[in-house]
Amino acid sequence: MSEDLRLGGIAILDYGSQYTQLIARRLREMGVYAEVFAYDAAPEHINQHHPRGYVLSGGPNSVYEVGAPPLPRHILDSGLPVLGICYGLQLLMHTLGGAVLPSTTDREFGPATIIHTTPSPLLDGLPEQMPVWMSHGDKVTTLAAGFVALAYSDGSPYAVVGDPTRRYYGVQFHPEVRHTAYGTEMLHAFATRICGCAPRWTPVAFIDSAVEAIRRQVGAEQVILGLSGGVDSAVAGALIHRAVGDQLTSIFVNTGMLRLHEPEQVLQVFREQQGMRVIYADATEQFLDALQGVTEPEAKRKIIGRLFIDVFKEQADQLKGVRFLAQGTIYPDVIESAKGSKAAHVIKSHHNVGGLPEQLGFELVEPLRDLFKDEVRKVGTALGLPDHIVWRQPFPGPGLAIRCLGDLTLPRLDKLRHADAIFLEELQKAGLLIGDTAQCFAVLLPVKAVGVMGDLRTYEEVIVLRAVQTDDFMTADWARLPYDLLAQVSRRIVNEVTGVNRVAYDITSKPPGTIEWE
């Protein structure tokens, strides 16, 4: 039996920094398993995978304020190494008897340089001067007993500190962000040199251990999976198929709101290349009927979400004796739901569209629960899935329904599908579809414009092209696509898509716009 790859990694205590997840990603990129916990989670929970060290994240609070999140006693009692980052460093100092004060004159936000002065296992082998990313208003003014300064910056005499005997270290900047030049090396030194973690967390090792875990959970029972064509459900499907073969049946619902040739491509990859059992339910007519005359975005989402569940359930009911439902839940979803919903204001009700409710009566199999998106992609590639699935741009659950503004009819959807395919094809040819742009698509507007073709007046519909760059989809900028590319796309759409005589390019960022038009 292969051992649990999650044992002996790093536990990260989250104090609310926007970068906490990045700390875990950086560690995992170097093969060290890392998990994020609320700072006040139960010790048994934090220690469930027997970490070899702790990282205390940054956070928005000030350690000297009443009610500031504290350092749990069990962390210090464990005798394991600790690395404090920003708030984490201040917390370590404050708790162990040092002093932290607000800094009025030399607060540091953005790039800074640290000067490395003193040998230590954390910084040995790194240059004397290093660019780092700072973001703090408070600073350590007196070190706790046992600590020495290892590096300083203009604004922070204690930019890096350490107590080598107790193996406690702290950095005032953020080693997890790319702007900190040797941040990865510092995290690596902490995890391997100081904590003694072995780099064992690789996609291939993950696949072996996940296959075993799925077999143990599922036994000889049947599993169903809702395949959307998106990367998470695709990788979950391929992994479960590798573990239990034909005990897995996937259900692929065509809502009629998919892109050109998407159903054929999904079936080709999963049925033919992966050899999986896939039930194809073409529910286009049902969805079009239900959406007839509906133009309000939230109403569309609700109708599609409900009908999707009905169609899925109808197909699942025909399979007898299914005990498990597989889902492509990934680690950021798990972290978010553990925090509870922070969203104060619902802009769009996206997240449940295309999701399946817990009350369907199945037990869940979620083999990707421990993975970040980039890890899911690596696992997908290692499982033999093609790049166009593994690197697919996100596609919303309601699909083209929220890109076809106005009447949702088959001819209008086909018009949109055709224009969208031309846009994607040209982006692909220019090498701009993967990596450079995060999401690119066409939108059909509910207006008509006058044009002239040959000597004839035309009065036809308008396509908008949208292409954005973003890392997190919370904020986005419009992509500065080359004019020549836009000209070629516009020319082709007007010439090849009947009923469209005008193409516009959306130059709105988010905020104030959103990525989708609805």
Interacting residues with ligand XMP (CB under 6 A): 301, 348, 350, 353-354, 394, 396-398, 439, 473, 510, 514-516
Nearer to ligand XMP, 75 or 467 (CB): 467
Q: How far is the CB of 471 from ligand XMP (least distance, A)?
A: 12
> Six-digit token pair at 404?
């076809």
CA angle 181, 187, 189 (to 5 degrees): 105
SS3 annotation, 175-234: CCCCCCCCHHHHHHHHHHHHCCCCCCCCHHHHHHHHHHHHHHHHCCCEEEEEECCCHHHH
Q: One of 86, 195, 404, 440 is an active-site residue; which one?
A: 86
- CB nearer to ligand XMP: give 274 or 439: 439
Q: Are 405 and 422 in contact (CB under 8 A)?
A: no
> Cα(333)–Cα(225) distance, rounded to whole angstroms?
18
Pairing assessment for the beta strands 148-152 and 160-163 based on DSSP bridges: antiparallel
Minimum gap (Å) between residue 4 Cβ and ligand XMP: 32
Name the active-site residue from 116, 136, 174, 241: 174
Burial 184-216 (b: 16+ CB within 10 A, else e): bbbbbbbbbebbebebbbbbeebbebbbeebee
| Per-position DSSP letters for 44-68, written without gaps between them | HHHTTT--SEEEE---SS-TTSTTP
Q: Which is nearer to ligand XMP, 55 or 515 (CB)?
A: 515
Q: Smallest Cα–Cα separation from 338: which of 71, 35, 72?
A: 35
Smallest distance, ligand XMP to C-beta of residue 288, A: 18
- Residue 464 CA to residue 375 CA, distance in Å, equals 34
Compute CA distances 299 → 180, 293, 304, whole Å.
46, 11, 9
Longest dimension (CA), the chain: 87
Judged by CB, which is closer to ligand XMP: 318, or 349?
349
- Shortest Cβ 230–ligand XMP spacing (Å): 9
With respect to ligand XMP, which residue has the nearer C-beta, 161 or 353? 353
DSSP secondary structure code for residue 366 in this structure: -
For residues 202 and 205, what is the distance between their CA atoms, to the nearest angstrom?
5
Which residue of the chain is nearest ligand XMP when measured via CB? 350
Q: How many residues does the chain have?
A: 518
Task: Give the relative orientation of helices 203-218 and 231-244 as an angle to the nearest 10 degrees.
Answer: 60
Query: Does the annotation mark 86 as catalytic?
Result: yes
CB-nearer residue toward ligand XMP: 275 or 406: 406
Is 197 an active-site residue? Answer: no
Q: What is the phi/psi pair of residue 413, to 5°?
A: -65, -40
Unique residue bearing structure tokens 């439902």: 325
- In the complex, the smallest distance separating the C-beta of residue 351 from ligand XMP, rounded to whole angstroms, is 7
Indicate if 174 belongs to the active site.
Answer: yes
Query: Vertex 489, ends 485 and 491: CA angle to 5°?
Result: 115
- Least Å distance, CB 329 to ligand XMP, is 14
State the nearest-atom distance from the C-beta of 516 to ligand XMP, in Å. 3
Q: Between residues 91 and 404, which has the closer beta carbon with respect to ligand XMP? A: 404
Strands lying side by side in the sheet with 222-227: 277-282, 248-254, 222-227, 322-326, 363-365
C-alpha 217/C-alpha 319 separation (Å) is 20
HSE-up of 352 (CA within 13 Å, CB side)?
14
- CB of 315 or CB of 439, closer to ligand XMP: 439
Q: Which is nearer to ligand XMP, 69 or 398 (CB)?
A: 398
Q: Which residues contact 369 (CB under 8 A, 6 or more apart)?
A: 329, 330, 331, 334
Q: Which two tokens stand for residue 311?
A: 């169609």
CA neighbor of 298 nearest in space, from 218, 401, 380? 401
Pick the closer one to ligand XMP by CB: 121 or 355: 355
Point out the residues that are catalytic: 86, 174, 176
